[in-house]
Every structure is written in structure tokens, then in C-alpha cells.
């Protein structure tokens, strides 16, 4: 890609432009293109690496990403990222970044991504590694207070990675209930230390700036911890009950032989995917609902249901269905990954709860066997 920029771009003419115009052009490019452009033209490095540019880029860029990691030989380790602005996949080779901190023969699993940071679980040595392709850095996170953990011990809805492009720092947190109530474990890269906070039964109303982690599920009740990071770390327990009457629900994964809806949790939201059986061998999606916490956190409140105009697009046949969700600034983004007869399909659905606007995109296939999604 770097060679393409050198051949197709007139850098001499580019630098004649006013710096404000150059910045406006860069703000419209996806991050991988900016990285390649800076590699091809060293004169842009000082502008792109400045704190002001990073702050403005984060504020003005409307690009959204999906990141997946495909299991393959270590030397070919690659993160695939789908850009909503470009509507295509990008490749981020990361083997060279990981090599200094990942032992040979390690089993690598992508857990989370945020603001250019990627969190990996090393399944054999049971450690965590964070890498940033932009800053070309990789580091191990100190073992958490609960000790080493394999990949199967990490539950996506119960953890959160929060990166900061401007400062180049990140936080990683997870919630665990060992029988005495939920406990928050928070790591800050700025201190390279873990902090422990016991969650308290609901002491405050639900606030938009909280980070929500799902601690546990029961038949009609979910235990969610709202984390406030404004001053002192505070963790409040909420127990929303379900009113949709779902029986035999499946959490995180739904097979053709299962009954009931698929429930996907994350960021204080609940996505319910309803489907119906087709001859007992496969199922078809018939409806998607998005729920959120009400003000006191005691109940799930229905925020949106797929409109009729979108129903035909989401009616995907599957034998296995799984998904992830993210809520950022009132926009809920859902990734549904399905398999039918060995063929993979991935759809990206977003719902703006303020504008009550739905959008769906079917992502192009790139050889999805063996992937995991951040």
C-alpha cells in the first residue's frame, strides 16, 4: 500500500497546499491510509504525531471499525479491520509487533480493541498482551490479582478495554463474582498497576458516562455493574429483570437445534435476536430488538425493534449464530456472525437511539474460518 501512495500521489504539489487544507484532507481518510501515507511521506510525520492532530482526528472522524483476528501461523498474524467509511477490509500485519512479547508456539486470541489498542489473550502461558500498530508498541499486562487466566476464563460482556489516542494510554477492567458479590479489577497503563473495588448494591441512578459490565445471568434477571471513573472509582450493582417473557433463551450462541431467542449483552444493552426453525436443520432470523437499562436500573426497557423495511435484509438462514455489540454515544452497533453449511456470513447492524434510525450492511467475505471478533 505504501508503494501505491508513492506512485499515485504528487507530494510536492500536496505540500504547496495550506496546512489547514492538508489537515482537512487527512481527517477524511481512514486511519490505515494515514499510516501508509506517513510511511510514504516522512514530511507528514510531525503533523500526524502531534497531540492536536490526534485530538481533532478523534473528534471529526466519523469512521467506525470492526476488528477480527484470524487463527493462522504466527508469522502471518494479521488483524483484519472493516471500515464503515471505505466499506472494505484492511489488513494489519502484527507478527513483528508481537514477536518480542509472545513466546514461540503460543495460542493467541483477540479479546478487545479500542482507539488503536488491541488486547490479546495468550492461551498457553495465560497472560495478556496489548499492542498498538499506530505507535508500533506491544507490552504484557501484569498478572491480575486473581492469577493467570486462559482464554476460556474471559467473558466479553464482563470486560472492557478503553484506549485514549491522545495520551497513548489505556485502561482494562473486568468484573468477577466469586460468591461474595461482584468485584471490579481495573488496570491502568499509566501506573502499570491493578486496583480492586468491591461493587455495591445500587447507590446511584444509571448515568450515560458509566461503563457497564455484565457480571452474571439468571433466568429473568441479569447482574450488571455500572462503573464510574470520574473521580474515585465506584462500582454499582444493577439487577434488571426481563419483561419479554423469553423462555429457553441462549446467551451468546444459538444453534439450529436450540429454541428461544439469542441474547447478546454488552455496555448496559441487551440485543434479542428472534428466529424460527426451518425443518429442524436450520433457523432464520425474523426480528431483532434492542433493550437498555431504565433510569433506576431495575428493568430492561425496549429501545427499538427492526422496522419492516429492514426485515427482509436481516432474514438470514443459519445453523449457528453468534454476535457482539457495542454502545457508543447512543449508537448501538451489533455484529451477527452466522454459518450455514460451512459458509460464513457477517452483518453489521446499527441503531441510533436518539434519531431512532436503523442501518444494516452485509460485510464482504474474506475467508472467515477461524476468526474471532474484538
Give pLDDT, residue 23. Answer: 79
Per DSSP, which regions of 94-148 are E strands? 108-114, 117-122, 127-132, 137-141
Q: What's the pTM value of the predicted model, to 2 decimals?
A: 0.86
Give pLDDT, residue 368. Answer: 72
Give pLDDT, residue 15. Answer: 60
- Closest C-alpha to 188, from 254, 142, 244, 240: 142
3-state secondary structure of 324: strand
Grid coordinates representing 291? 433493550
Give pLDDT, residue 26. Answer: 79
End-to-end Cα distance, the chain: 24
- Closest C-alpha to 215, from 259, 267, 176: 176
- Residues 258, 246: Cα–Cα separation, whole Å: 13
Give me the helices (H) in 43-141, please: 45-48, 51-60, 95-98
- Residues 221, 241: Cα–Cα separation, whole Å: 4
Give pLDDT, residue 2. Answer: 43
pLDDT tens-digit map of 50-62? 777 777 776 666 6
Count of CA atoms in the C-beta half-sphere (13 A) of 243: 11
pLDDT tens-digit map of 244-303? 545 556 888 898 888 789 999 999 999 999 999 988 789 999 999 999 999 889 999 999
User: Which portions of the chain are predicted below pLDDT 50?
Assistant: 1-8, 245
User: Domain residue spans in the chain?
Assistant: 2-60, 250-373
Number of H helices, E strands in the chain: 8, 27
Amino acid at each position: 500500500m505504501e508503494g501505491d501512495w508513492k506512485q499515485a500521489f504528487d507530494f510536492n504539489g500536496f505540500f504547496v497546499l495550506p496546512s489547514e487544507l492538508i489537515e482537512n484532507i487527512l481527517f477524511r481518510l481512514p486511519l490505515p491510509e494515514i499510516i501508509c501515507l506517513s510511511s510514504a511521506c516522512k514530511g507528514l510525520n510531525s503533523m500526524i504525531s502531534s497531540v492536536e492532530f490526534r485530538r481533532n482526528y478523534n473528534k471529526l472522524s466519523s469512521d467506525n471499525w470492526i476488528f477480527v483476528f484470524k487463527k493462522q501461523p504466527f508469522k502471518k498474524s494479521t488483524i483484519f479491520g472493516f471500515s464503515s467509511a471505505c466499506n472494505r477490509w484492511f489488513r494489519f500485519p502484527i507478527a513483528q509487533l508481537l514477536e518480542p512479547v509472545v513466546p514461540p508456539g503460543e495460542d493467541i486470541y483477540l479479546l478487545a480493541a479500542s482507539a488503536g489498542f488491541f488486547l490479546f489473550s495468550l492461551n498457553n502461558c495465560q497472560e495478556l498482551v496489548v499492542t498498538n500498530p499506530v505507535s508500533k508498541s506491544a507490552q504484557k499486562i501484569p498478572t491480575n490479582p486473581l492469577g493467570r487466566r486462559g482464554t476460556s476464563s474471559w467473558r466479553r460482556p464482563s470486560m472492557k478495554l478503553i484506549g485514549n489516542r491522545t495520551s497513548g494510554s489505556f485502561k482494562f477492567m473486568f468484573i468477577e463474582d466469586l460468591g461474595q458479590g461482584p468485584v471490579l479489577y481495573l488496570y491502568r497503563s499509566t501506573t502499570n498497576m491493578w486496583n480492586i473495588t468491591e461493587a455495591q448494591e445500587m447507590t446511584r441512578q444509571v448515568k450515560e458516562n458509566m461503563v457497564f459490565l455484565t457480571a452474571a445471568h439468571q433466568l429473568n434477571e441479569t447482574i450488571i455493574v455500572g462503573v464510574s471513573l470520574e473521580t474515585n472509582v465506584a462500582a454499582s450493582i444493577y439487577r434488571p429483570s426481563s419483561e419479554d417473557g423469553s423462555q429457553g433463551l441462549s446467551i451468546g450462541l444459538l444453534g439450529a437445534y436450540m429454541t428461544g431467542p439469542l441474547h447478546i449483552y454488552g455496555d448496559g444493552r441487551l440485543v434479542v435476536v428472534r428466529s424460527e426453525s426451518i425443518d429442524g436443520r436450520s433457523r432464520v432470523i425474523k426480528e431483532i430488538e434492542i433493550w437498555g437499562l431504565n433510569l433506576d436500573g431495575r428493568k430492561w426497557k425496549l429501545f427499538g425493534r427492526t422496522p419492516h423495511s429492514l426485515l427482509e435484509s436481516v432474514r438470514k438462514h443459519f445453523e449457528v449464530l453468534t454476535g457482539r455489540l457495542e454502545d457508543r454515544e447512543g449508537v448501538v452497533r451489533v455484529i451477527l456472525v452466522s454459518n450455514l453449511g460451512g459458509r460464513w456470513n457477517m452483518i453489521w447492524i446499527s441503531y441510533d437511539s436518539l434519531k431512532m434510525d436503523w442501518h444494516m450492511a452485509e460485510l464482504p467475505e474474506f475467508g472467515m474460518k477461524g476468526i474471532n471478533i474484538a
